[in-house]
Structure 1
Amino acid sequence: MDNYIIHSAIYVVGEIVTLAVFFLVTKMFGKGLTLSSVLRGALERGFLYIILLVDLPQGMAFFGALKIATRLKDDDKISNDYFLVGNLVSVLIVIGYYLMSQYCF
């Protein structure tokens, strides 16, 4: 039970820090944060964190395929640089969560 509490705490605190990081990144690109983008990002990072915790690296490939598939027919005019930087930062943050959890155990 303590493991779940520690993993949850790492995720929640990390998401608060992440919100600040993405606020800065969106400012660099002249964009703004929306509630839907914040929630979508938190859900994606939660999924990736769980995938790493349960040692299912195929989930990373699955996630990548989903991101590409949803991007193919997207009419949204988000630049590729913005999309790439956002996703790389998000994945690096999840890897940081995972490394912190490994350090705690």
Structure 2
Amino acid sequence: MFHTAIFVVGELGALVLFFLVTKMFSRSLTLSSVLRGVLERGFLYIILVVDLPQGLAFFGALKIATRLKDDDKISNDYFLTGNLVSVLIVIGYYLISQYCF
């Protein structure tokens, strides 16, 4: 239950942070991108909490596979920045949960 609380509160902060990132790159925040980000960060957080490092390799492979077909013309800087911020947020969740337990 405590992990869920950390995640939910963190995601509210992440929403604000990603709003700023999208404005910095002159993009708009869509509901589908928000939901996809929540799902990705949730997956990463669960992987870290249950200590399953193979999941990180799986996640990385999925991210690369989705970028192979570059139809949506998202810039690499935007993609990299968003992913780095997302991973740093999840690491923050994990560190907070480790500190509190």
TM-score tier after normalising by the smaller chain length: over 0.9
Q: Distance in 1 between matches of 2:88 and 2:76?
A: 18
Query: Structure 2: any 5+ residue segments left out of the alignment?
Result: none
The two structures have a TM-score, normalised by structure 1, of: 0.95
Q: Where do 1:11-50 residues align within 5 Å?
A: 11-50=7-46
Q: Which amino acid aligns with 2:39?
A: L
Residue 9 in 1 paired to residue 5 in 2? yes
**Residue in structure 2 matching 1:59, options 37, 55, 61:** 55
Identity across matched positions, percent: 83
Deviation per CA, 1:55-96, whole angstroms, max 9, x where unpaired?
011111110100000110130110000000000000000000
1:23 CA drift (Å): 0.3
How many pairs align?
A: 101
Q: Distance in 2 between matches of 1:71 and 1:80?
A: 10
Instruction: Give the CA RMSD over aligned residues.
Output: 0.5
Q: Distance in 2 between matches of 1:7 and 1:42?
A: 14
Query: Structure 1: any 5+ residue segments left out of the alignment?
Result: none
The two structures have a TM-score, normalised by structure 2, of: 0.98
